[in-house]
Amino acid sequence: MYTLTDVTKTYTQGKRTVVALDKVSLEIPDGQMVAIQGPTGGGKSTLLQMLGALDRPSTGTITFRSNDLSAAGESTLTGVRATDIGIVFQSFNLIPTLTAQENVEMALVPLGVGTAERATRARDALASVGLDERGGHLPSELSGGQQQRVAIARALVKRPAVLLADEPTGALDESTRDEIMDLLEKMWTELGLTLIVVTHDSAVARRAQRRLHIKNGHVKDVA
């Protein structure tokens, strides 16, 4: 699914240069479930941004399904994100003025899906995360766990090849955390996704097929 070769990402803040990823080389096969762990500031979110085609490396190459993301133009990256990559964040990132149903439908607009099909697919996606009854609710009328379910439905409604999750349970209480991780794992199994999840929860990480540890921009496999 992904091949990273010597991927380096640096950020410049005033006179200071931060190396967020340092010559990362990595192969992620189709369908793998990968857990990413490591200290704050280690480079986890930066790696996810690269995998999510949200940003390009400073040097090195990332190929995703034969697309070279490091060399691709903005419109190619936008297209890849719209079609192939679903992303879930710690803070849900729902649009507060739209209902759950509308938030999920939004993901299908860039794909040119017509109004009626958007509505049906969004309803199905909400049902698949257990929210059949909540389509008409605004995010503020939903619990944190329910909002994250909406975000997961929004990420999956496009039928992506990859689901990326950056600390998806970081803002949730313990019991809700388990529910969300169970849901992500269920989706991974049922949909044959590649699932890449940043998590501080070691129990979750142990359930993944593969664990990566990132510190100071260096990535290594954990045995």
Ligand X SMILES: Nc1ncnc2c1ncn2[C@@H]1O[C@H](COP(=O)(O)OP(=O)(O)O)[C@@H](O)[C@H]1O
Minimal distance in Å, beta carbon 205 to Mg ion?
15
Helix (H, G, I), strand (E, B) or coil at 56: coil
The smaller minimum CB distance to ligand X, of residues 18 and 127, is found at 18
Which partner in ligand X, Mg ion, none is near 11 (CB below 5 to 8 A by kind)?
ligand X
Pairing of strands 67-68, 59-64: antiparallel
Cα separation of the two ends of the chain? 21
CA distance 22 to 6: 8
Which partner in ligand X, Mg ion, none is near 20 (CB below 5 to 8 A by kind)?
ligand X
Minimal distance in Å, beta carbon 23 to Mg ion?
20
Instruction: Give the number of C-alpha atoms closer than 13 A to the C-alpha of residue 221, restricted to the C-beta side.
Output: 9
Q: How far are the Cα atoms of 5, 99, 109, 128, 139 from residue 115, in angstroms, in the given order?
A: 41, 16, 9, 20, 22
CA distance 55 to 69: 9
Which partner in Mg ion, ligand X, none is near 52 (CB below 5 to 8 A by kind)?
none
CA distance 177 to 149: 11
CA distance 107 to 119: 11
Minimal distance in Å, beta carbon 8 to ligand X?
12
The smaller minimum CB distance to ligand X, of residues 100 and 205, is found at 205
Residues that contact Mg ion, how many (by CB under 5 A) = 2
Minimal distance in Å, beta carbon 13 to ligand X?
5
The smaller minimum CB distance to Mg ion, of residues 104 and 172, is found at 172
The smaller minimum CB distance to ligand X, of residues 98 and 171, is found at 171
Enumerate binding residues for ligand X (CB under 6 A).
Answer: 11, 13, 18, 20, 38, 40-46
Which partner in Mg ion, ligand X, none is near 18 (CB below 5 to 8 A by kind)?
ligand X
CA distance 148 to 80: 23
CA distance 216 to 213: 10
Which partner in Mg ion, ligand X, none is near 13 (CB below 5 to 8 A by kind)?
ligand X
Quick note: the x/- pattern for Mg ion over 34-63, rule CB under 5 A, is: ----------xx------------------
The smaller minimum CB distance to ligand X, of residues 69 and 129, is found at 69
The smaller minimum CB distance to Mg ion, of residues 31 and 170, is found at 170
CA distance 222 to 32: 15
Q: Which residues in 109-128 contact Mg ion (CB under 5 A)? A: none
Which residues is 88 bridged to in the sheet?
165
In the complex, the residues that contact Mg ion under the rule CB under 5 A are 44-45
